[in-house]
Structure 1
Amino acid sequence: MKIENPVLTGFHADPSMIRVGGTYYIANSTFEWFPGVRLHESQDMVHWSPLPSPLGCSSQLDMRGNPSSGGVWAPDLSYADGRFWLVYADVKVVNGAFKDCVNYLVTAEDIHGPWSEPVRLNGVGFDASLFHDDDGRKYLVQQTWDFREYHNPFNGITLTEFDVDTMRLKPETVRTIWGGTDVKLVEGPHLYKIDGLYYLFCAEGGTVWTHQEVVARSATLDALSFEGSPLNPFLTNFDTPRNYLQKQGHGALVSTPGGEWYYASLCARPWHHATESFTDPRGWCTLGRETSIQKVGWTEDGWPYIVGGHGGERFVDAPTDAVEAGGAPVSRDQHDDFSASTLGVDWNTLRVPFDERMGSVGGGALTLRGQGSLCNLFDLSLVARRWQAFDFDASVGVRFDPCTYNQMAGLTNYYNDLCWSWAFVTWDERRACRVIEVAQNDFNAYTSFLRDNAVPVPDDAETVWLRTRVRTQTYTYDYSFDGEHWQNLGVELDARILSDDYVNQRYGGFFTGAFVGLAAVDLSGYDAQADFVDFEYRELPAA
Structure 2
Amino acid sequence: MSAVRAVNPVIRGFAPDPSVIRVGDWYHLATSSFEWFPTIPLFRSRDLASWEPAGAVDTAVPGRSLLGVPDSGGIWAPALSHADGVFWVVYSVVRSVGTRFFDLTTYVSITDDVTGPWSEPVRVPGHGFDPSLLHHDGRHYLLNLQNDSRVGGRRFDGIVLTELGVPKPGGRPDASRIHAIGPTRLLLQREELVEGPKITAKDGWFYLLLAQGGTGVEHGVLVARSRSLTGPYEVDAVPLLTTRDDRGVPLQKAGHGELVQAPSGAWFLSHLASRPLETEQGPRNPLGRETAIQRVEWVDGWPRLAHGGWHPAVEIDVTDAVTVSDDAVVAAVGPSEEDMGSDGFGTVPGWPWSTLREPAGDWLDRTSRPGYVRLVGRMGPESLWQQSLLAQRLTEHHAEVEVTVEASPVTFTQSAGLVLYYNTTSYLQLHLTWAEPAGQPQAGQQWRGVGRRVLRLEHGRPEDARVVAEVDAPSGPVRLAARIDGGTARMFAGTAGGELHPVGPDLDFTDLSDDFGPRLRFTGALAGISVVDLVEGTFHADFTGWALRQTAAPQWRSAGWAAS
SS of equivalent to 1:518: strand
| Cα distance in 1 for residues equivalent to 2:335 and 2:235 | 40
1:337-388: CA deviation from partner (whole Å, max 9, x where unpaired): 26758513100011111001x2222432211111111011111111111111
Q: Which 4+ runs in 1 deviate beyond 4 A?
A: 326-336, 338-342
CA RMSD of aligned residues (A): 1.9
- Corresponding position of 2:106: 103
Q: Which of 456, 469, 479 matches 1:450?
A: 469
Q: Which of 181, 194, 199 matches 1:186?
A: 194
Measured after TM superposition, the shift of residue 28 of structure 1 is 0.1
Measured after TM superposition, the shift of residue 537 of structure 1 is 0.5
Measured after TM superposition, the shift of residue 124 of structure 1 is 1.4
- Corresponding position of 2:241: 235
1:267-320: CA deviation from partner (whole Å, max 9, x where unpaired): 0111113xx3xxxx6500010000110110111x31111122201101111132
8 Å CA contact 2:493, 2:503 repeated in 1: yes
260-269 vs 338-347, which moves further: 338-347
- Corresponding position of 1:372: 379
- Corresponding position of 1:318: 318
- Corresponding position of 1:345: 351
In structure 2, the CA distance between the partners of 1:57 and 1:172, relative to structure 1 (3 Å rule), is closer
Alignment of 1:12-23 (within 5 A): 12-23=15-26
- Corresponding position of 1:523: 534
In structure 2, the CA distance between the partners of 1:132 and 1:198, relative to structure 1 (3 Å rule), is same
1:133-182: CA deviation from partner (whole Å, max 9, x where unpaired): 0x1000000111111232321010000001011733325421111114x4
| Cα distance in 2 for residues equivalent to 1:535 and 1:56 | 29
8 Å CA contact 1:17, 1:26 repeated in 2: yes
Residue identity opposite 1:450 in structure 2: A
8 Å CA contact 1:288, 1:511 repeated in 2: yes
- Corresponding position of 1:290: 290
376-385 vs 327-336, which moves further: 327-336
| Cα distance in 2 for residues equivalent to 1:446 and 1:488 | 20
Q: Which of 7, 11, 21 matches 2:10?
A: 7
Alignment of 1:135-154 (within 5 A): 135-154=137-156
23-32 vs 429-438, which moves further: 429-438
8 Å CA contact 1:332, 1:388 repeated in 2: no
SS of equivalent to 1:445: coil
468-477 vs 432-441, which moves further: 432-441
In structure 2, the CA distance between the partners of 1:10 and 1:341, relative to structure 1 (3 Å rule), is closer
Residue identity opposite 1:464 in structure 2: V
| Cα distance in 1 for residues equivalent to 2:223 and 2:538 | 54
Measured after TM superposition, the shift of residue 251 of structure 1 is 2.2
- Corresponding position of 1:74: 77
8 Å CA contact 1:61, 1:90 repeated in 2: no
1:63-88: CA deviation from partner (whole Å, max 9, x where unpaired): 11111100000000111111100111
- Corresponding position of 2:478: 464
How many matched pairs? 522
Measured after TM superposition, the shift of residue 321 of structure 1 is 5.2
Residue identity opposite 1:374 in structure 2: P
Residue identity opposite 2:508 in structure 1: D
In structure 2, the CA distance between the partners of 1:413 and 1:392, relative to structure 1 (3 Å rule), is same
1:368-425: CA deviation from partner (whole Å, max 9, x where unpaired): 1111110111111111111111001011111111001111101001111111111110
| Cα distance in 2 for residues equivalent to 1:333 and 1:437 | 33
Residue identity opposite 1:489 in structure 2: V
- Corresponding position of 2:525: 514
120-129 vs 156-165, which moves further: 120-129
Measured after TM superposition, the shift of residue 2 of structure 1 is 1.2
| Cα distance in 2 for residues equivalent to 1:416 and 1:434 | 27
**TM-score, with structure 1 as normaliser:** 0.92
Q: Which of 460, 476, 479 matches 2:493?
A: 479
8 Å CA contact 1:160, 1:169 repeated in 2: no
Percent of aligned positions that are identical: 37
Residue identity opposite 2:371 in structure 1: G
8 Å CA contact 1:426, 1:435 repeated in 2: yes
Alignment of 1:211-250 (within 5 A): 211-222=219-230, 224-230=231-237, 232-250=238-256
8 Å CA contact 2:52, 2:331 repeated in 1: no
In structure 2, the CA distance between the partners of 1:96 and 1:321, relative to structure 1 (3 Å rule), is closer
In structure 2, the CA distance between the partners of 1:475 and 1:333, relative to structure 1 (3 Å rule), is farther
Q: Which of 475, 481, 498 matches 2:512?
A: 498
In structure 2, the CA distance between the partners of 1:249 and 1:341, relative to structure 1 (3 Å rule), is closer
Residue identity opposite 2:381 in structure 1: L
8 Å CA contact 1:256, 1:319 repeated in 2: no
SS of equivalent to 1:466: strand
Measured after TM superposition, the shift of residue 487 of structure 1 is 1.0
In structure 2, the CA distance between the partners of 1:339 and 1:73, relative to structure 1 (3 Å rule), is closer
- Corresponding position of 1:407: 414
SS of equivalent to 2:319: coil
Measured after TM superposition, the shift of residue 103 of structure 1 is 0.5
Measured after TM superposition, the shift of residue 540 of structure 1 is 2.8
